[in-house]
Structure 1
Amino acid sequence: MSNSSSAPHNNATDSDQGEDDDLMRKLGLSAKGVLLARQEGRVFLRLTGVVDYAGLRVAYDLVPAQGVLAKASKWRKMDADTRAQLLLERASDAVGAELRGYVSAFVQEMADACDDCGLDAQPFLGALAEMQISEPAGVVFDRIRQRLEHAVERDMEEQHAERTRQSINLAEYPASFDVARRLKRRFIALLGPTNSGKTHQAIEALAKAPSGVYLAPLRLLALENYERLQAMEAHGKPLAVSLVTGEERRLVAGATHVASTVEMLDTRTPVDVAVIDEIQMLADRDRGSAWTAAVCGAPAQVVYLVGAPEARRAIEVLAERLECELEVHVLKRKGPLSVEPSAVRKLSNLRRGDAVICFSRREVLMWRDMVTELGLSVATVYGNLSPEVRRAQAQRFRDGLADVVVGTDAIAMGLNMPIARIVLTTSVKYNGYEEEEIPAALARQIAGRAGRFGVHEEGLVAGYDNETHNVIRSLLREKPMPLKTTGFAVAPTLEHLHRISSVTNEHALAKLLKRFVHNIDVPDGFFYPRITEDQFERAAWLDTLELTVAEKFALSLVPISSKVPSLQRAWEHWATALAAKKITPIKAEQAPLHYLSLQEVEDACRLYSAYAWLAYRQPEYFPDTERAQLLSRQASERVDALLQDQNSALRKRQPKKFRR
């Protein structure tokens, strides 16, 4: 073993080095395995040796506890006698024996620990001779212990990853739906653009079936088709229909039909017909897994898949994978859709029957104000509004009480209204990360709302300004991109998480979700694990509380915005209360609703709905389901009244002229 004092970074002169080497030989220290080293501006001793334990022969090269002699500058000023005295004191036989004892005990400790873990100790103990640092031996021991700890963690991680892979195989995902698997199911795809009558055709078939379920992407659509089915008859009698959404249950004794949001599908009760609406949502980044589950698990003999034509190939590969017979019908739009020759350009060019589309609540209210001051009455529709308010606003337009609709792309799904012309104020939308041009599929879906069949001969589309007009024209000309035919999203279920927990003994929700995404077996990638970023972020916070995996999982899915401080605080309060096993009643707003702003009442409505959602899943601790629904309805009515009051107040002003 070479003396580290000869290393390139040594600042000592050749004469200094020579003097030290002579002194070490003269004192007999070199022969005892004592080395004099210089590093990092310090002069220190290294003691070398070998210890044996249980068949291991381990060399060491370490600094004893008092091995640092002096700073290099101070060492150079010492005379030979002072250096000799310090060397003999710090490198005595007693010091060597003491270090050897420490090393022997450490080697035994590491060898036994590695044996317990099934690891080879030699690679770790080799660092006793190789880790030549100026710190005392204890520091080296700690670093080796840390290496072993990390190695054990990596080994445990690999074991848990392998156990997770063995516990869940996504290739077998369809087999997890027992009822659907036992049925000989047949798929009927009704594909076409907006205003092609595909949903109408599917609902007609559903109503004629002895039993069935309609699966909607939105509470609003579930509610609309619930009422639509209620108004239909079978064998001369009104259909008995129940409504099931995350936040509401209207259960009818002996009901033969159910209108439901797609996430609330009952996969255990067989029916004759199921209708899965907006099937192209299979490709949705956050919610696509609900459509995957519905296609795989809908317990119906006949399953109607209703949506955009670009979903065709995805449906075909799913039907083949599920060994279901498939029948495809491609429908055409019932009336023509045309792009206006030029942009609208001026507010005064807006007309009755127009729908003005923006992509944020703030923009909607701004355009609402501008349009209203022209003397036109306005119905307002945007995503922050409850389904009840959106329906009420849409009904005002249908009844002729509003001349124009101003809304977001929330009108693109559901809300059948007699819109003559769609006017887009922009072609750019915030996607949660950045502003980007809207995809062609969304442009088509929004534009398709124009020209209600039986009301208008054709639908018209325009941009408000020239740039938007040209972009929209180009988007509508684009050939639809087909949905991908692999990687269908699968979200974790509580059963999945319990299975992973049982084989890894892990109870932290964030780690269980991470294992689901990264460690489960995905043999051919046909089905692929997905979780939302919101759920993962919530999971990390929930893991700080004393909650079961089931409780944390439910709380991670509560439909409430973490971006609104008051709603985030409410969610955190519910979580901490559940951890403390406290019963949490719903609290109405301290101030009466008529004292609150529009934004505050909207947020109150969302809070009450979120409480109802949680109450259905944890009724023991959140008992006020009916009161939450009542408060939500009252808040919705107040929002609708506020919107109408604001419209009326604006229309009373003297009309103004606006210049672009």
Structure 2
Amino acid sequence: MRKLSDLRFPGEWFPEARQMQRKIILHVGPTNSGKTYRALKRLEEAESGIYCGPLRLLAHEVFEKMNAKGITCNLLTGEEKRVMDEACLMTSSTVEMANLGRRMEVAVIDEIQMIGDPLRGWAWTQALLGLKAKEIHLCGEPAAVPLIKSICESLNEEVVVNEYERLTPVTINEASLNRNWTKIRKGDCVVAFSRSQIFEIKTKIEKETGLKCAVAYGALPPETRAMQARSFNDPESDVNVLVASDAVGMGLNLNIKRIIFSTVKKFDGHANRYMSIPQLKQIAGRAGRFGTTYANGQVTTMYPQDLNYVKMAMKAPIHYLKLAGLQPTVDMLEFFAVQMPQESFPNLLQKFEEMASVESSYFLCNFGDQKKIAEAINHVDLNLRDRYIISTAPVSTRNEQLLDTVARFAEMHSHSDTCTLDTVVTLPKQPPREPKSLQELELAHKTIMLYMWLA
């Protein structure tokens, strides 16, 4: 069991990639520095390749841009597969769906600093170690440089680092808005961290200033977030202000003049804590966008006591990543399970977590959500591979209704029942008018996304 849970040499999991002499190019810089733009330009020139993004929204954006330029490109995300041409050698995908089996000329892995994420970091590690591309372009924050160099050195692969400066300046205002909502102006983005806060602020701004607001937050479908962003960006639109969560930090192209933090604390599932410095910097960096009316960005806060934390965070030195995430393959878990044939799958994951050994550059990604889903479907008669797949479904395990839905899907699958979408989702006939009906609509969307992912 110790041998089967030995994850110390993950580079050896991908022997075909190890036989290649890959060229690794690292593009690093702050938000709005053109690093991803440069990498994508190289991808456009290639005969074959892949874009690996952190969000479905970004994979869609690259897919649409490629095809609009006459470069045939397919789309592959956990929820969607769009094939423009079966013979096509170009794909835009979410990083978890990266095709490791195909040889290609160029691969672009976006937001490489996510390799250190406690939940999803394994997908960036897997792409970095396993992609069979002659050139791999990594885009992200400078914080990832030493870790990437260390990993590539262990693979005998050289790394070329291209550093980029921000294309437009961003400055921190000397004063906060001091709780005065009438100081909100066109082009402002007010940042909050809960749905209720976002809608309270939206109502307050529209009432006190007469300016119309768009909203963007994590539980909104990516397509809806993109529509809200477009209405905010459009100079002909009557929408002048954006109220958003940390969803603005990644995946949306926004013409923001000023970022205003309504708070600098965020609930992390256990308590309200100061948001991390890298996250604050990434959000603040969305102020000012090259080539727009608001090229010179500004950052401030609504409350005076929060401004000092923003100033400190913006001046703070880089927090370099120390470790990259790992996750065992389903084959490893199957071999491990053979040693404990009577053990339940949740206990199997727990035991693997306890016994796993990793090398100094890596850590085992958190099995927390997987164990919760595994518990929810523990009563269902499934083989281990199906159990593993369902346990890795993209589900917020804090939502009991979604967990019940996962269990229902698992039961239908175990009985080989045909499952149609209208048996599990009923959409309201009217748009939502209060928070409760909005939450019901968001839950319906999450259920649809889960259905598409399992399908």
Please state which band the TM-score falls in when normalised by the shorter chain.
Answer: over 0.9
- Look up the match of 1:603: 443
Deviation at 1:321, TM superposition (A): 1.3
* Aligned mate of 1:239, from 50, 71, 76: 71
Distance 1:312 1:591 in 2: 47
Deviation at 1:409, TM superposition (A): 0.6
| 1:443 Cα offset (Å) | 0.9
**1:481 aligned to 319, 344, 356, which one?**
319
Contact map agreement 2:425 2:447 (CA 8 A) in 1? no
The separation in 2 between residues aligned to 1:340 and 1:520, in whole angstroms, is 48
* Residue 461, structure 1, aligned to residue 294, structure 2: no
Of residues 204, 211, 219 in structure 2, which corresponds to 1:384?
219
Q: State the 1:448 CA deviation.
A: 0.4
Amino acid in structure 2 at the alignment position of 1:259? S
Equivalence for 2:329:
493
Asked whether the equivalents of residues 195 and 333 of structure 1 are also in contact (C-alpha less than 8 Å), the reply is: yes
Candidates 447, 452, 460, aligned match of 2:289: 452
Retained in 2: the 8 A contact 1:179–1:267? Answer: no
The correspondence of residues 76-95 of structure 1 with structure 2, limited to 5 A, is: none
TM-aligned CA distance change 1:298 to 1:349, over 3 Å: same
Give, as a single letter, the amino acid of the residue that structure 1 aligns with 2:74. S
2:355 maps to what in 1? 519
TM-score, with structure 2 as normaliser: 0.94
Structural mapping, 1:270-285, within 5 Å = 270-285=103-118
Report how far residue 168 of structure 1 moved.
4.4
How far is the alpha carbon of 1:595 from its aligned partner?
6.0
Which residue, 129, 148, 156 being the options, matches 1:296?
129
Q: Residue deviations 1:127-160, cap 9 Å, x none?
A: xxxxxxxxxxxxxxxxxxxxxxxxxxxxxxxxxx
User: Which 10-residue stretch deviates more, 245-254 or 172-181?
Assistant: 172-181
Query: Once the 2 structures are TM-superposed, how far is the Cα of residue 175 of structure 1 from its aligned partner?
Result: 1.6
The Cα of 1:371 is off from its aligned counterpart by: 1.4
Asked whether the equivalents of residues 239 and 256 of structure 1 are also in contact (C-alpha less than 8 Å), the reply is: no
Q: Distance in 1 between matches of 2:363 and 2:341?
A: 24
Q: Deviations over 1:297-352 (max 9, x none)?
A: 12211111100111111111011012112100111101111001210121111100
Map 1:70-149 to 2 at 5 A. none
Instruction: Report the 3-state secondary structure (helix = DSSP H, G, I; strand = E; otherwise coil) of the residue aligned with 1:167.
Output: coil
Query: Is the deviation greater in 385-394 or in 456-465?
Result: 456-465
Q: Matched residue of 1:403: which SS?
A: strand
Report the Cα distance in structure 2 between the residues aligned to 1:557 and 1:427, rounded to whole angstroms. 31
Determine if contact 1:451/1:459 at 8 Å carries over to the other structure. yes
Q: Which has the higher contact order (CA 8 A, sep 6+)?
A: 2
**Structure of larger gyration radius:** 1
Gaps of 5+ in 2: none
Shift of 1:528: 3.1
| 1-structure distance, mates of 2:398, 2:347 | 24
Tell me, what secondary structure is at the counterpart of 1:432?
Answer: coil
With over 3 angstroms needed to count, the CA separation of the structure-2 counterparts of 1:183 and 1:443, relative to structure 1, is same
Partner of 1:538: 373
Distance 2:431 2:144 in 1: 48
Whole-Å Cα distance in 2 between the matches of residues 492 and 541 of structure 1? 21
Taking a change above 3 Å as real, the CA distance of residues 449 and 563 of structure 1, as seen in their structure-2 partners, is same
Q: 2:193 aligns with which of 359, 380, 384?
A: 359
Aligned twin of 1:580: 415
Q: Cα 1:231–1:591, aligned 2, differ >3 Å: closer, same or farther?
A: closer
Deviation track 1:63-83 (CA, whole Å, cap 9, x = no partner) reads xxxxxxxxxxxxxxxxxxxxx
**Which residue of the partner structure matches residue 252 of structure 1?**
84
Where do residues 309-324 of structure 1 align in structure 2 (5 Å cutoff)?
A: 309-324=142-157
What is the Cα deviation at residue 537 of structure 1? 2.0
Structure 2 counterparts to residues 330-479 of structure 1, below 5 A:
330-345=163-178, 346-373=180-207, 374-400=209-235, 401=237, 402-455=239-292, 456-479=294-317
Note the alpha carbon deviations across 1:239-292, whole angstroms, 9 max, x for none: 110111100111122222111111111110111111111111111111111111
SS of 1:259's equivalent? Answer: strand
Relative to its length, the structure with more helix (as a share) is 1
Q: What residue number does 1:187 align with?
A: 24
Structure 1: give runs of 5+ residues left out of the alignment: 1-163, 233-237, 616-660
State the Cα RMSD in Å: 1.6
- 2:289 match: secondary structure: coil
State whether residues 517 and 530 of structure 1, in contact with CA within 8 Å, keep that contact through their aligned partners in structure 2: no
Structure 1 residue 560 displacement after superposition:
2.2
Worse-matched range after superposition: 337-346 or 538-547: 538-547
Secondary structure of 1:551's partner? Answer: helix
Which residue identity lines up with residue 372 of structure 1 in the other structure? E
Give, in angstroms, the shift of residue 591 of structure 1: 5.5
| Identical aligned residues as a percent | 33
Distance verdict in 2 for CA 1:477–1:295, change over 3 Å: same
Give 1:582 deviation, angstroms.
Answer: 2.2
What is the Cα deviation at residue 565 of structure 1? 3.7
The 3 A distance-change label for structure 1 pair 307 and 590 is closer
Native 8 Å contact 1:241 1:257 kept in 2: yes
Q: In 2, distance between residues paired with 1:507 and 1:574?
A: 23
CA contact (8 A) 1:420 1:451 kept: yes
